[in-house]
Structures are given as C-alpha cells and as structure tokens.
C-alpha cells in the first residue's frame, strides 16, 4: 500500500469540520462537531465496527441505540476486505448501510497490540498480517489514502506507540517520529470535508505529555486525541494524566480519548474536558454475558436471573429492556442462542449513549458535578451490596 492517490468518497465534500463548545461546567464541555455527514453532539461515545460491522448490530439497531458516529479500524479493513474492494464499493458507508459520520483509526494501536508482527522505520511500518502472515507496509501517506478509500469523516494520523515500560530515550524518539508522521498525514491529500485528528502520546509521564501536546497542538489539525492510555496502568494513574493534560489542550478543538473505557472512566474523563470516546467494552462484554446498568454490572449467566421478570435496567428504554426479562435473556445466554449477546450488545451501547447524553444534559444545565456524584454513588452502592 504505497499509493498516495485517494478515492473521492460519496457524501464527503463541502466546508471543513467545525467544532463549537456550547456550554462548560467546570472543565466539562458540551459541544457540537459539524461534519459533512451530520453533526455530533458531544460528549459522545462511538461504537466500534472493527471490520465494517459493529459486532452483532445492524445499522437500524445502531440508529435505535442513538449512535451518532461509529468507528472503523483501518488496519483490519486494509487486510479484509482491502482497499480495492472498498474503492470498488464507493467507500464503506454505502457498503455497510451507514449514512452518519464515521471515524477511522490509523493502525498505530494495532501495531502496538500486535507488536511482534511490526517493524518500525522512519518511512513507516512493515508488518505481517495476523490473518495469513503476508507482508505489508504502511506509511503516513498510505494510511491516509486507505482512510480515503474507506471514506471516513474523521481520520487519525499514523503514530508510533511503544509498549511500557520503555526508556525515556525510546519514548522521546517514538514521540518525535509520531510528530513527523502526524505532519505528513496532515499534508497528505484528502477530500474537502474530511477531518484529520492528531494523537498525543507520552505514556504516563506528565512532562512528555506536555511536550507532545506543544509539538502538535500548534498545527492545523481538526481535533486532538489522547492515545496510549488504558493499556494496563491503574485507573487513578490515567485519571491523573487526564486531569493534567485535557484542560490544557486547545479549547476550540474536539478532544478524543482513544479506546476508553468503563462507564466510570468515561464520566471521569468528561469531567476533565474530554469530548469523544470509543471502546470495544460494551460489545465485547455483551458477548461474554455482561451488561452495564445504572446500578452496576450484571452477569446474565448467573442462575440468580433464571426466574427474574425484571428488565436489565428498569430505567433503560432500549429494545431489549422494553421487550425482554432478565430471565429470558439468561435462558438465551445459557442456551448459546445468538439473540442473547445481541440483545446485551443493544443494551450496552444504548446504556453508553444514554450515559453521554445525560452527561451532556447535566453540563448544559450546570449540574455536572452533582450528576457525576449521584451516578457514581449508585455504581458504588451496587458494588458494595454485591
């Protein structure tokens, strides 16, 4: 993949993305991000559709749970179905029946999590497919061309993510390279209307975080992401990084915390001024039988639910909660009927999207910290009683 030409995806075009902060409450922000395919109300959670489908969900269900934007993984889509197929199809949106905005990552995180398969150089990354072992090469330019073939609305720069612990010298080298690559991505051709977000690295070192912020935030990116968190460090360490970093990022650009996290992580990050989130947790946990509720987590495999006539969450309005009891879903999960994890996925995504909607409303009403306190208190009470 070294072709820097790009595919003109349908529906893109028009003015550059615009982000407006409409209300603040402490460091928390409620905003609107206007993109070619629609406007996103922030804070927002983005369901993850790794290979062109949010697992177990069809586009109608994604709309029903309130998804405003979804995420696709460039590394996975490059390997399967591949650039040729996506260009032939006219981009991923039409192919998968999704007409709202989409964000694509760059593959940087996959090279980190599949590190034994990747070799970094100044030009880019050479790697072996985790599917068939075939050899490939990503450059900042080819990653942008691949994201153009997908036709995503928001495109992430290629970055060099290191596994921790790493020496300070190695971390600084990777950061400097990530900066050079980010600027090459910014210079790569793209259609009008397509946004490019930079990714701030620096691990859990506050000085490095500040440096990478200063290196990147003067450039004309459409938004800034915080990468390299929630990779094994304790939650409190992540919260401390967010507390120092997020409020100092550009005020008039969206802030995106990549790959995070639990409902509590999201509420804490919103409090620090983060606007956008993605995570596989709601869909992955659903496939393992677990749901998130206003009163904490439930494992639907547990025999205690066998005769339950309660909804997963009494206050939830998702299709699963409107239609089925815990007892029925317990039966589906135990019987390995795929409708079980599907209903749990519907609920979990609806719950995550309710959570960010409630946070947004609380920020707009100026009661965010009271809302945060009450929300976390219910989770705490549930975990103490269980």
The residues binding its own copies (CB under 8 A) are 51-53, 55-60, 80-81, 85, 88-89, 95-97, 306-307, 309, 319, 323-325, 327-328, 331-332, 334-335, 337-339, 342-343
Secondary structure tally for the chain: helices H, strands E: 15, 17
- First CA to last CA distance, the chain: 52
CB of 1 to its own copies, least distance (A): 18
Element holding 196 (H helix, E strand): strand 195-200
Task: Please give the Cα distance from 129 to 136 (Å, whole number).
Answer: 7
3-state secondary structure of 352: helix
- Give the angle 225-177-156 at the CA atoms, nearest 5°: 30
Task: Please give the Cα distance from 47 to 70 (Å, whole number).
Answer: 5
Task: Please give the Cα distance from 109 to 26 (Å, whole number).
Answer: 31
If the CB atoms of residues 55 and 136 are measured against its own copies, the closer one turns out to be: 55
CB 276 within 8 A of CB 195: no
If the CB atoms of residues 239 and 328 are measured against its own copies, the closer one turns out to be: 328
Count how many Cα atoms sit within 13 Å of the Cα of residue 172 in the half-sphere of its side chain: 5
CB of 56 to its own copies, least distance (A): 5
| Beta-carbon count within 10 A of 231 CB | 17
Question: In residues, how long is the chain?
Answer: 386
CB of 8 to its own copies, least distance (A): 18
Element holding 46 (H helix, E strand): strand 44-46
Q: Please state the φ and ψ torsions of residue 114, each to the nearest 5 degrees.
A: -115, 45
Beta bridge partners of residue 118, listed in sequence order = 127
CB of 315 to its own copies, least distance (A): 20
What DSSP letter does each residue of 254-304 carry, written as one string?
Answer: -EEETT---HHHHHHHHHTT--EEE-SHHHHHHHTTEEEETTEEEETTSGG
If the CB atoms of residues 57 and 157 are measured against its own copies, the closer one turns out to be: 57
CB of 319 to its own copies, least distance (A): 8
CB of 337 to its own copies, least distance (A): 5
Q: What are the residue numbers of the active site?
A: 105, 278
If the CB atoms of residues 95 and 239 are measured against its own copies, the closer one turns out to be: 95
If the CB atoms of residues 52 and 107 are measured against its own copies, the closer one turns out to be: 52
Element holding 361 (H helix, E strand): helix 339-365
If the CB atoms of residues 212 and 350 are measured against its own copies, the closer one turns out to be: 350
If the CB atoms of residues 114 and 217 are measured against its own copies, the closer one turns out to be: 114
CB of 145 to its own copies, least distance (A): 20
CB of 340 to its own copies, least distance (A): 8
If the CB atoms of residues 78 and 371 are measured against its own copies, the closer one turns out to be: 78
Task: Please give the Cα distance from 66 to 357 (Å, whole number).
Answer: 9
Count how many Cα atoms sit within 13 Å of the Cα of residue 29 in the half-sphere of its side chain: 24
CB 273 within 8 A of CB 243: no
């Amino acid at each position: 993949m070294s072709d820097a030409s790009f595919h003109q995806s349908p529906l893109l075009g028009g003015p550059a993305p615009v982000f407006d902060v409409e209300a603040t409450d402490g460091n928390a922000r409620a905003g609107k991000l206007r993109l070619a395919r629609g406007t996103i109300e922030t804070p927002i959670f983005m369901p993850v559709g790794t290979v062109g489908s949010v697992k177990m969900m069809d586009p109608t269900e994604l709309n029903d749970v309130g998804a405003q934007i979804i995420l696709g993984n460039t590394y996975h889509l490059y390997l399967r179905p591949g650039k040729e197929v996506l260009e032939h199809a006219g981009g991923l949106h039409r192919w998968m029946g999704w007409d709202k905005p989409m964000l694509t990552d760059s593959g940087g995180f996959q090279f980190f999590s599949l590190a034994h398969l990747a070799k970094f150089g100044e030009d880019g990354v050479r790697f072996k497919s985790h599917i068939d072992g075939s050899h490939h090469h990503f450059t900042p330019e080819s990653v942008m061309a691949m994201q153009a073939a997908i036709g995503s609305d928001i495109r992430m720069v290629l970055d060099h993510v290191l596994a921790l612990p790493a020496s300070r010298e190695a971390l600084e080298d990777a950061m400097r390279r990530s900066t050079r690559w980010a600027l090459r991505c910014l210079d790569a051709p793209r259609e009008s209307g397509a946004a490019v977000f930079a990714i701030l690295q620096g691990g859990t070192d506050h000085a490095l975080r500040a440096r990478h912020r200063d290196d990147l935030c003067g450039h004309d990116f459409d938004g800034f992401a915080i990468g390299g968190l929630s990779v094994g460090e304790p939650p409190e360490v992540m919260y401390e990084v967010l507390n120092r970093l997020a409020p100092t990022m550009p005020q008039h650009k969206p802030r995106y915390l990549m790959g995070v996290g639990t409902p509590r992580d999201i509420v804490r990050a919103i409090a620090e001024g983060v606007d956008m989130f993605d995570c596989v947790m709601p869909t992955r946990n659903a496939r393992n039988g677990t749901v998130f509720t206003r009163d904490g987590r439930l494992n639907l495999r547990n025999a205690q639910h066998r005769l339950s006539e309660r909804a997963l969450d009494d206050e939830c309005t998702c299709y699963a909660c409107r239609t089925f009891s815990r007892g029925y879903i317990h039966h589906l999960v135990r019987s390995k009927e795929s409708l079980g994890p599907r209903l749990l996925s519907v609920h979990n995504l609806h719950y995550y999207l309710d959570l960010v909607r409630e946070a947004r409303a609380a920020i707009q009403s100026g009661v965010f910290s009271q809302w945060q306190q009450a929300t976390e208190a219910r989770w705490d009470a549930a975990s103490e009683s269980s």
